[in-house]
Structure 1
Amino acid sequence: MTDAVRRPTPADPMPGLESESGLPSAVIRNLPPELGPDAVAVVEGRTFMISDATGDIPEGTIGGLVHDDTRFLSRWVLRIGGAPLLLLSSGTVEDYSAAFFLTNPGIDGIQANSIGVRRQRFIGDGMHERVTLECFANKAITFDLRLSAGADFADLFEIKDSIPDRSQTIVRSHGSHGTHLDFSYRNGTFRASTRVEAVPPASRTEGDDLVWQVTLEPGQQWQCELTVPLQFGALQVTPKHRQFGEVFDGVREDAVSVWSNECAELRFDSELLRGVLDKTKADLAALRIEKSAGGVPIVLPAAGLPWFLTIFGRDSLISAYQTIVAGPSLARGTLLALASAQGTRFDDFRDEEPGKILHEIRSGELTQLNQKPHNPYYGTADATQLWLILLSEYWRWSGDDDLVRGFRDNIDAAVRWIDEYGDLDGDGYIEYATRSAQGLGNQCWRDSWDGIKFADGTIPVLPIATCEIQGYTYDARIRLAELADGPLGDPALAHRQRTLAGELYDRFNRDFWIEARGGYYAVGLDGEKRCIDSMTSNMGHLLWSGIVPPERARIVANQLMSEAMFSGWGVRTTSTEDEGYNPIGYHAGTVWPHDNSLIAHGLARYGFRQEANRIITAMLDAATYSNYRLPEAFSGYDRPYGRLPVPYPTACSPQAWSAGAPMLFVRTLLGLEIRDGRLVADPLLPVEFGRVAMDGVPALGTLWNVEATGDTASVRLAD
């Protein structure tokens, strides 16, 4: 068959039991119970380290130092006199650094609390840890300080599931003078190695332990520095953090500084807004991925810590959309990176099709040896449309005609995918169905194994066409027509896209609308073209896309803000009236900040500003209970039930599209849009937020200053 007529055939009639990771959700290991509720994580780009509150990584836990999807440290335990240290306090300093304050228990000849221990840790060009000891005893003391290290080189997918024993194939070649520990591993073409460097050298090496014999006089300090260097690929930009003074001074000279410097200066009367937006900028900086495209450094957001610290099509695109008001660099980097890996062929193992934008990229052993399909994996039915939507939004805010024209081949390939390969049965809707034995069953944003189900809890058959994907497709066609009228200079393309958008609008509103329960949109159509009748937050995405007729918008808004959908902290993913509702089910009743940011923006688009503000203020209130950070999701319990947001037990934190949500909230509050070659504002700020000012908003090749209070605003060109 030719590419033009070939239609992939789903191999599996039912959704696979996979989560976003591609692993069976029933065996995903939780975080952080194994390390305690106060586990500490530091992150920088594609590298993270998770330990318990004392800074230790006990063997056999999910903790470790992970870089590029491989665990380079699986054990990292500090002991004095063979005894575990006692915690005084610990936590992150910045997203990429942490400090641990500890002391000793009573050991032979040394009373408890005689030794102050400080561990400082940061992630940069490697993992760096400084251990400082101080003697508070009234006489000289001598003791052994022991660091036990280990590397199992587990693939990230294995850390979340079960880890094979590689011990017989790991080679140790430790320095004889206590200067370093070396671990190396090879499996076919996959190679990995870990070196632990120590300054000063240890007094001796015992197995995989470095042991210092330390003698301290009263008041004396002793210090050692431990380094685990990391290798960065040719297309990766090495982080600049190499010294403790540099990292704790917050010096940045990498690509993320370009984005940070271009961001508007935000000034708020509200301490709440100030705290949340400061945390947003810090988290997005920590979660960035730096790459080179055509020799030019670019930056784009990774999805989230710990399991999704990589490029995700959908997550990265939505995060970049949320933050476009702060500056175009994240959007530009995301567009370039995803375009460079756009699908070019049919590959059932990877669910790849020509023109399709990827779902996820991994680089661990299982992927490199083709045991996992993630190099890259294309199992998503919405990233292609979201790429077109982000391209349009980037162009509206930047006026960058040249970039749009440079993407012409990518645009044509994306349109062809939507027209020919995304519609599996020719009914005019974009459906999904995995063809890979390891593929995702659900390939929409609710991509857990039971993310899409009927109101009675039963699982639909493939292929599935979810409602929000049709909304994204409609929006992508409308926006593409605008680009065709503008920088692409293609009237025929503009006419065709508007015609197809109009046909989709009519067909969708006929087939997806359900009159029961007061009226709402089905979450999808299953393989037998039955309406999947769950009432879900996906309806709010339809408002964001603009596919809802004005006469139905009020009905949708009322449903979203009903007691069954709105928890008091945000809109739930699933109505409490559905039998499948579960307040701690991943997509079955939880509250997702990114979901709510799109819903609020959609409500405001249709004029429901008070409803949008109610969501925004609830979300921002929730952030105060987690140090101004919005995690991946909250449990869906009603606000009066616990009087504080109940955490979802395994939520990613930080996560890019949750970190980006407050920026879209601010844009929605201010009503910021590009119209007729100008940045305009139409604010509706709650009284408690007072004045909001944004100085140096980058738009249309220049900078703008915005100031707003209540429903009044001034927008002017910056000096």
Structure 2
Amino acid sequence: MTTTGSVSTLDGNTFVVSDTAGDIDASPTEPNGLFSWDTRYLSRWVLTLDGHRLNPLSTDDLHYFETRFFLVPGTGTVYVDATLSVIRRREVVDGFREELTILNHSATPVNLTLRLDAAADFADLFEVKDHLKKKGKYYTRIDDNLLLLGYERETYRRETLINTATSTHVDAHGQTADAPAAAIDQHGVTYTVHLGGHSSWTTDLHVRCSLWGWAANQRVTARTETGHTRKDMEEDLDEWIAGAPKLECDWEPLKHTYRRSLTDLAALRFAPMTSGERTLPAAGLPWFMTMFGRDSILTSLQALPYAPSLAATTLAELGARQGSRIDDFRDEDPGKILHEMRYGELTAFEERPHSPYYGSADSTALFLILLDEYERWSGDTKLVRDLEFEARAALNWIDQYADLRGDGYVWYQTRNPDTGLENQCWKDSWDSISYSDGRLPGFPRATCELQGYAYDAKKRTARLARTVWHDPTLADRLDEEAADLKRRFNRDFWIEDRKYYALALDADGTQVDTLSSNIGHLLWSGIVERRRAHHIVEHLLGPRLYSGWGIRTLAEGEERYNPVGYHVGTVWPFDNSFIAWGLRRYGYKNEAARVAAGILDAAEFFNGRLPEAFCGYDRAVTKYPVPYPTACSPQAWSTGTPLLLLGTMLGLQAVDDHLVVDPALPVGIGHLALLDVPGRWGHRDAYGRGRVQVRADDRLRKLRPQLSTLQTLVNRRES
């Protein structure tokens, strides 16, 4: 399975997952298909020529919304050249459009049968993940050159419309003529093609998705055409790239990674139904192309110096959906910021709680952190005033609803034992929170970084209360509460004999004593006492946590450590980016640069696209970072990681109306510049110079021509 380069439309809600030939042949539990709004609108889209599937030669990702597949029929032997080739060009625009071209490379005319098998199971993404059966009924309609595939369950309806266009034949002299139309049946489209020598044949198809249904009591027509064009997509991407700061750097792979990050971030933009054309970051492909509280917030933080509009939309949309009642099914409380929003069948029939679901203990504090950081960069006090009610409600949630044990800490425990999340911190897999000996603590749980986020949220909101809302009483109270939280946290979470903070407190207040990457988030939040910071840094960059590529989620030597475990030993790029930010906050500039260098080195092996996670093997053991088997890619906060690391290496800070730059670059980057960084100051340039020594791999690249010449001379002498 591969995700094609065509992953998103302008509204950010549609994507295609296919194999390397462009075919979709979905198994029940794999996310292959055409997806929109959490529903699979095509589960089969298989191209055959004379009854045989085609072999891929190569795939070109032309844009994030456009891919071209080069295919040939099987010849049966490596000694026979293919005399035919097929080019399959796909654009994910208003559903997706597909152009098929057959080229006859010989002088002999041929008669061919080209077939596209089509089917739609209309599976909810949760049905794909959990292998559940459908409860509604399917229907099919054929009308002129249209094939409609539909599904309904009571008032819930989803439809896929396949529109075949006129085919064109171009002969060896360049003369063009219309070719016979397609024959349509309930299972797909068939073309009978007569192809002269050295000639070509082309046809276009358009596949569209409907949330409401076109076919109910009316004639299906091609006038269902809506949405955007390829030109719209190209112009939008050009505008997006042009609006970001320009990177100048003497390390070429970093330039490629930066461009890839901006492009993938464009692909992951998601427009909620209430936002119009405004977009926010969806969490990632293929499972999470929707609004997530935590993921959208953290990605918006990473991207603030590059695309501040994402943060504004994230804040507005999350604020609009803030919890307003106590709802155990959705883990909802007044003032709580959502975890995840879904639009599929299971959510519509309340078989899943995601309408929205609020099972996240950190998104509410992170919402306040983003609100402050966004105002620092943008100067947009209007949005801060508009969201004053939501911000105060979020503070109240931290104090009243999150404090499950009445001790002033943020705790979590789902109230929905059937479909709610057990772990409601960012490490939300079942075994991510454990004692050093491998035992799992009971509930509720209070992980350490949640307390750091709450501390930071109160400090930041105190600033907003003082400078924007003009409420000094609230500001003073928040500062006092933050100071008290910091004092108690450093008393209750610190493990004196190990010199690090506990991963969590369990239900009776016992320290969960595992060494994990969570302690790096404490540096980012500022809750660590200065006198203890050096101990945290030593652990983060020590051999148990630091792999050479990045900081592991769980330290080597812990009972549950597994370098291929989702949250128990893998390296998460986003995790490292915020840890690096925290290292900078405490003055450890060179250590932050070291973390940045490892992650950016890894990005080069992933062709500039950092995955959700990669394995935690030590760099001395592997010459390249080992991919995690089921990682999302692209994934929003991994896509944002190089952006935040660039800002961290340059030491970018928004202070009053000034952009502060304090660079500390890794070895191998001699020059780094971001030009036209947007902010409340207008646009400013940021420059940094580092040590001029080159990396070992760069030395090898430069020496390869000389080594090749030397080897040639040695070979000649030996002969």
TM-score by length of 2: 0.89
2:116 is aligned with 1:147: yes
CA distance in 1, matches of 2:645, 2:42: 39
1:665 paired residue among 610, 620, 645 = 645
Per-residue displacement from partner, 1:549-585 (whole Å, max 9, x unpaired)? 1111000000000111001110000001101101111
The alignment's C-alpha RMSD in Å is 2.0
Counterpart for residue 467 of structure 2: 486
2:659 is aligned with 1:675: no
Aligned residue identity for 2:259 = D
Question: What SS class does the counterpart of residue 309 from structure 1 fall into?
Answer: strand
Residue 72 and residue 292 in structure 1: after superposition, are their counterparts in 2 closer, same or farther (change >3 A)?
closer
Per-residue displacement from partner, 1:193-238 (whole Å, max 9, x unpaired)? 01111112754234402111101011111011111123479xxxx9
CA distance in 2, matches of 1:222, 1:361: 44
Per-residue displacement from partner, 1:274-300 (whole Å, max 9, x unpaired)? 11110110010000012476x763221
CA distance in 1, matches of 2:398, 2:287: 30
8 Å contact kept, 1:277–1:663? yes
8 Å contact kept, 1:87–1:103? yes
2:183 is aligned with 1:210: no
Moved more, 196-205 or 480-489: 196-205
The Cα of 1:411 is off from its aligned counterpart by: 1.1
Counterpart for residue 94 of structure 2: 125
8 Å contact kept, 1:505–1:547? yes
CA distance in 2, matches of 1:522, 1:271: 40
Counterpart for residue 219 of structure 2: none
Counterpart for residue 708 of structure 1: 688
Aligned residue identity for 1:42 = S
8 Å contact kept, 1:327–1:697? no
8 Å contact kept, 1:682–1:711? no
Counterpart for residue 447 of structure 2: 466
Counterpart for residue 557 of structure 2: 577
Question: What SS class does the counterpart of residue 689 from structure 1 fall into?
Answer: coil
Residue 100 and residue 608 in structure 1: after superposition, are their counterparts in 2 closer, same or farther (change >3 A)?
same
1:371 paired residue among 351, 359, 377 = 351
Counterpart for residue 30 of structure 1: none
8 Å contact kept, 1:86–1:104? yes
Counterpart for residue 633 of structure 1: 613
CA distance in 1, matches of 2:537, 2:91: 46
State, as a whole percentage, how many aligned pairs show the same letter: 46
Structure of higher RCO (CA pairs closer than 8 Å, 6+ residues apart): 1
1:500 paired residue among 481, 486, 490 = 481
The Cα of 1:529 is off from its aligned counterpart by: 1.3
Aligned residue identity for 1:481 = A
Which structure is larger by alpha-carbon Rg, 1 or 2? 2
1:53 paired residue among 13, 16, 20 = 20
Counterpart for residue 137 of structure 1: 106
Residue 58 and residue 291 in structure 1: after superposition, are their counterparts in 2 closer, same or farther (change >3 A)?
closer
Aligned residue identity for 1:222 = W
8 Å contact kept, 1:66–1:73? yes
8 Å contact kept, 1:684–1:711? no
The Cα of 1:59 is off from its aligned counterpart by: 4.3
Gaps of at least 5 residues in structure 2 are 167-179, 213-224, 693-719
Counterpart for residue 251 of structure 1: 235
2:397 is aligned with 1:417: yes
CA distance in 1, matches of 2:349, 2:583: 46
2:591 paired residue among 585, 599, 611 = 611
The Cα of 1:266 is off from its aligned counterpart by: 2.0
CA distance in 1, matches of 2:636, 2:134: 33
Counterpart for residue 222 of structure 1: 201
Question: What SS class does the counterpart of residue 423 from structure 2 fall into?
Answer: coil
Per-residue displacement from partner, 1:128-173 (whole Å, max 9, x unpaired)? 111111111231100100110000000001111204156x811011
8 Å contact kept, 1:259–1:329? no
The Cα of 1:273 is off from its aligned counterpart by: 1.7
Per-residue displacement from partner, 1:58-104 (whole Å, max 9, x unpaired)? 24252111100000000010001101111211242222221110011
CA distance in 1, matches of 2:273, 2:55: 44
Question: Which contiguous aligned blocks of 4+ residues in structure 1 show a shift greater than 4 angstroms?
Answer: 238-241, 256-261
Residue 41 and residue 94 in structure 1: after superposition, are their counterparts in 2 closer, same or farther (change >3 A)?
closer
CA distance in 1, matches of 2:26, 2:444: 43
8 Å contact kept, 1:581–1:589? yes
Counterpart for residue 215 of structure 2: none
CA distance in 2, matches of 1:203, 1:404: 57
Question: What SS class does the counterpart of residue 6 from structure 2 fall into?
Answer: strand
8 Å contact kept, 1:343–1:356? yes
Gaps of at least 5 residues in structure 1 are 1-34, 713-719
Residue 564 and residue 194 in structure 1: after superposition, are their counterparts in 2 closer, same or farther (change >3 A)?
same
The Cα of 1:390 is off from its aligned counterpart by: 0.2
Counterpart for residue 138 of structure 2: 170
Aligned pairs for 1:102-113 within 5 A: 102-106=71-75, 113=82
1:77 paired residue among 46, 53, 68 = 46
CA distance in 1, matches of 2:678, 2:211: 32
CA distance in 1, matches of 2:238, 2:68: 24
Aligned pairs for 1:311-460 within 5 A: 311-436=291-416, 437-460=418-441
CA distance in 2, matches of 1:403, 1:530: 41
CA distance in 1, matches of 2:451, 2:36: 37
The Cα of 1:708 is off from its aligned counterpart by: 2.2
Residue 368 and residue 617 in structure 1: after superposition, are their counterparts in 2 closer, same or farther (change >3 A)?
same
The Cα of 1:589 is off from its aligned counterpart by: 0.3
Moved more, 364-373 or 672-681: 672-681
Question: What SS class does the counterpart of residue 429 from structure 1 fall into?
Answer: coil
Aligned residue identity for 2:104 = C
8 Å contact kept, 1:202–1:211? no
CA distance in 1, matches of 2:557, 2:327: 41
Per-residue displacement from partner, 1:510-537 (whole Å, max 9, x unpaired)? 11111233x1111101112111111100
Question: What SS class does the counterpart of residue 298 from structure 1 fall into?
Answer: coil
Aligned pairs for 1:546-585 within 5 A: 546-585=526-565
CA distance in 2, matches of 1:373, 1:86: 43
**Number of aligned residues:** 658
The Cα of 1:676 is off from its aligned counterpart by: 3.9
2:634 paired residue among 641, 654, 657 = 654
The Cα of 1:40 is off from its aligned counterpart by: 3.2
Counterpart for residue 216 of structure 2: none
1:184 paired residue among 150, 153, 166 = 150
1:587 paired residue among 567, 570, 581 = 567
